[in-house]
Amino acid sequence: MSGRTAAWRHALLAGCVTAVSAFPLSMGFALMAGVPPGAMVLASLYGGLANALFGGRYGVGGPNTAVALLTGAAVMPFAPPESDLYMGYVFALCVLVGIYQLGFAVILRRVDLMDYVSTTVIDGITWGIGVLFILGSLWLAAGLAQPGGAQWPVFHALMVIDRMVDGTAQRAALEVSGVTLLVGLVAGRVPRLRRANILIGLAAGCAWAASLPESALLERVGWVAPIPFQASLPDFRQVSWPVIFALAGGPALAIALVGALQSLGIAKALRDADEPYRPAREMLGQAVSNLCCGFFMGTPGSNSFNKSSVMHALGGSGGLAHLFAVAATAALIYGFTDLLARMPMSALGAALILAGLAMIAPRRYARHFRRGRVGAGMFVLPALLVVILDIQSALFIGVGVSILAHFVHFSRGTIAWDLSEGRLRVAISGVFFFVSGARLENRVRAVFAETGGNGEAESLELDLRPAHLVTLDQLDIAWLRHIVRAGIPVCILIRAEQSEAARGLLDDAGLAGAGSDLLVVATAGDPDAWPAPCAS
């Protein structure tokens, strides 16, 4: 099979599986946002097309957990869900988000916002959103009516649990959701099935529901009418300006920032080692998608970590995979509406809980607690704020803490550079923070041809001896793994008392036992002078 044929096959598989896995979740996102399911489906279509034409390679756009929650919380105080007035405000919110993100795209041509936001803070917000996702799906899984009002999600969850215990919840709904959860969790333990565990669990729940007698009343998704591609009118009437100002002052900016952070985080996490990183293009794709949603009956959206990871794991990248995902989504809504109509709501709720569980997997976040109290605090604080307060408060406070920590610490650390005879020597002194790490990575990549640079250097010598010991709690050198695998000799010099901390740092970065191309030398030499060349 030629390389071109294999690329088409991978793109087709990745696009179709991503669409099928994401479609049921779109139904749940619609309930959270208070919009018709068709609006969420259109957001998927516009997000895929925008990413294929304007965005990056890996981000999968469309309905998103955090954005759905923010949309519902922003608009529900002003109009009844799914009403014409409500949808007019939603369309206006899309336009406001798109305008903000166009501004971000201009800024990102000069500076990358992600260099100033710790990944620890982003992971903490993601964990908190996962918890909210689970709490907000319990009523659906239990076959209960959607809670009304804007009360605390934890209180809503406690009410649902109380009704499940006292027998108010439907037994048939609990059976279906239980089967969905059990099968999905078991599939998640099987390596070959892990990426599709939500889809497998949902199929098992639907099969169990089909086996129940007709007397078992189950609420179904219902008929999702084929969606017409027609223009929509954002509600910018004169009498609506107070609401528009309220949306623009907080929710629209929060959604735009969430979309920016998630899109740029996905691009940095999933891109190839030698692939150029274009943050402005990532943001432009998001802006175009949201503007299309505002004027053509969609809802605010963002790139999704879960969907992007699925597409990446299946070998899909670039516009072709996005186009296949768009085609598969269109086929579902226009060709298989009868099957979708019979889907039990309780199975859908359990599938949403599975998605939330995937977001709070402890193994993904354990590294933040191994970096000391500062790393643990920067993770726990935004996570608790998401659950206790709301997502936008956690986002703004978390970003503020991250930027403050940067300015407090960055002024105390310096990086010395020396490039001669093909050897790049870098000495770090003072306290080294994550922004410095991003700049170090960009500078190092720029001189090695194997990582997309100009090829001025052939080996790397990284001297940590002048740095304070706290540096090793903050320094993230996972990107060195790509350089080592490219066959570039790397030497890391440390003081003798830093040896134990350095071993943990290398383990976190996946560099333990990296081979002969990586040499770590512990020395008690003069930390203010350049070290002698590393042994070959």
The pLDDT value recorded for residue 494 is: 74
Longest CA pairwise span in the chain (Å): 82
Q: Which stretch of 167-181, 250-264, 315-329 has the lowest confidence by average pLDDT?
A: 315-329
Q: Residues, the chain, total?
A: 536
Work out the pLDDT band at 321, boundaries 50, 70, 90.
confident
Work out the pLDDT band at 29, boundaries 50, 70, 90.
confident
pLDDT tens digits for range 484-527: 777 778 887 777 766 776 677 677 666 665 544 455 655 444 43
Distance CA 181, CA 200 (A): 10
Higher pLDDT, 445 or 508: 445
Contact 72, 276 (CB under 8 A): no
* CATH classification number, 414-523, choose in 3.40.50.150, 3.30.420.10, 3.30.300.30, 3.30.750.24: 3.30.750.24
Distance CA 53, CA 46 (A): 11
Sketch the domain layout of the chain as residue ranges.
3-385, 414-523
The pLDDT value recorded for residue 364 is: 73
Distance CA 6, CA 466 (A): 49
The pLDDT value recorded for residue 381 is: 86
Kindly report the CA angle at 191 between 185 and 195, in degrees rounded to 5?
65
The pLDDT value recorded for residue 50 is: 85
Helices (H) and strands (E) counted in the chain, each on its own, are: 22, 5
Strand ranges for 364-516 from DSSP E: 414-420, 423-429, 459-463, 490-495
pLDDT tens digits for range 455-479: 788 888 888 777 664 445 556 666 7
Mean predicted confidence (pLDDT) in 421-446: 74
Mean predicted confidence (pLDDT) in 121-139: 79
pTM listed for this prediction: 0.61
The pLDDT value recorded for residue 533 is: 44
pLDDT tens digits for range 49-79: 888 887 666 677 777 777 888 888 889 889 8
pLDDT above 80: residue 134: yes
* Average pLDDT score over the chain: 76
Work out the pLDDT band at 306, boundaries 50, 70, 90.
low
Output the six-digit token pair for 145. Answer: 């009516």
pLDDT tens digits for range 246-265: 888 888 988 888 888 777 76
The pLDDT value recorded for residue 525 is: 42
**Helix (H) or strand (E) run with residue 520 in it:** strand 518-523
Residue 70: name the closest of 104, 32, 26, 108 by CA: 32
Contact 391, 129 (CB under 8 A): yes
The pLDDT value recorded for residue 87 is: 92
Distance CA 89, CA 92 (A): 5
Rounded to a whole number, what is the distance in angstroms from the first to the last CA of the chain?
Answer: 41
Alpha-helical (H) ranges within 169-250 are 171-188, 197-211, 241-249
pLDDT tens digits for range 339-371: 777 778 888 788 878 877 877 877 778 878 877
Q: How far is CA 193 from the centre of its chain?
A: 21
Higher pLDDT, 18 or 81: 81
Q: Which of 39-43, 295-299, 528-532 has the highest mean pLDDT?
A: 295-299
Site of tokens 């923010």? 70
Contact 294, 94 (CB under 8 A): yes
